[in-house]
Structure 1
Amino acid sequence: MKRLFILSLTVLILAINGPANELIRQGDIYDQQFKPDEALKYYLPAEKQNPNDAALLVKIARQHVFRMDGLKTNTEKLTEGQKALAYAERAVKADPRSSDAHLSIAIVHGKMTPLLGNRGKIEASKKIKESAEKAAKLNPKDDYAWHLLGRWHQALAGMGSLTRGIAQLVYGELPAATNEEAVTYFKKAIALKPDRLLHHIELGRTYAQMGKTEEAKAAINKGLAMPNREKDDPETKRRGRATLAGL
Structure 2
Amino acid sequence: VEEVLEQADYLYGSGETEKLYQLLVQHKNSDDAELLWRLARASRDLAQLSSTSAEEKRQLAYEALEYAKKALEKNESNFAAHKWYAICLSDVGDFEGIKTKIGNAIVIKEHFQRAVELNPKDATTIHLIGIWCYTFAEMPWYQRKIAATLFATPPTSTFQEVLCEIFLSLVCTADPNFYSKNLLFLGKTYLKLNNKKMALLWLSKAKEYPAHTEEDKQVR
Interval of TM-score (by shorter of Structure 1 and Structure 2)? 0.7 to 0.9
Higher CA-based Rg: 1
Q: How does 1:144-155 map to 2 (within 5 A)?
A: 144-155=124-135
Paired position in structure 2 for 1:211: 194
Task: Measure the CA separation in 2 of the matches of 1:122 and 1:164.
Answer: 9
Query: Structure 2 vs 1, CA of residues 229 and 124 (structure 1 numbering), >3 Å: closer, same or farther?
Result: farther
Q: CA deviation at 1:40?
A: 3.0
1:201 corresponds in structure 2 to 184
Contact 2:136-2:155 at 8 Å conserved across structures: no
Q: How does 1:137-216 map to 2 (within 5 A)?
A: 137-193=117-173, 194=175, 195-216=178-199
Structure 1, unmatched stretches of 5+, are 1-19, 238-247
Give the distance between the partners of 1:167 and 1:187, measured in 2 at CA. Answer: 28
| CA displacement at 1:91 relative to structure 2 | 0.9
Task: Output the CA distance in 1 between the equivalents of 2:96 and 2:202.
Answer: 29
Matched, 1:130 2:96: no
- 2:4 — aligned with what? 23
Counterpart-to-counterpart distance in 1, 2:212 and 2:90: 20
Count of residue pairs the alignment pairs up: 215
| Residue type of the alignment partner of 2:184 | I
Supply the distance in 1 between the matched residues of 2:16 and 2:219 (Cα, whole angstroms): 19
1:63 aligns with 2:42: yes
Q: Choose 81-90 or 227-236, whichever is displaced more.
A: 227-236
Instruction: Rate the CA distance shift 1:33–1:110 in 2: closer, same or farther, 3 A.
Output: farther
SS in 1 for 2:181: helix
The Cα shift of 1:60 comes to: 0.4
- 8 Å Cα contact 2:28/2:67 also seen in 1: no
Contact 2:206/2:219, CA 8 A, preserved across alignment: no
Query: Does the Cα contact within 8 Å between 2:130 and 2:161 map onto a contact in 1?
Result: yes
Q: Which amino acid aligns with 1:196?
A: Y
Please say if residues 157 and 178 of structure 1, whose CA atoms lie closer than 8 Å, have aligned partners that are also in contact: yes
Q: Which residue identity is paired with 1:105?
A: Y
Q: Please list the CA deviations of residues 79-117 of structure 1 after superposition, one character each: whole Å capped at 9, or x if unmatched.
A: 211100011111111111111110011221343444442
The alpha-carbon deviation at position 196 of structure 1 amounts to 2.0
Q: Using a 3 Å threshold, how does the CA distance of structure 1 residues 171 and 76 change in structure 2: closer, same or farther?
A: farther
Match of residue 87 from structure 2? 107
Q: Given the alignment, which residue of 61, 72, 76 partners 2:56? A: 76
**1:57–1:90: 8 Å Cα contact kept in structure 2?**
yes
Secondary structure of 1:232's aligned partner: helix
What TM-score does the superposition give when structure 1 sets the normalisation length? 0.79
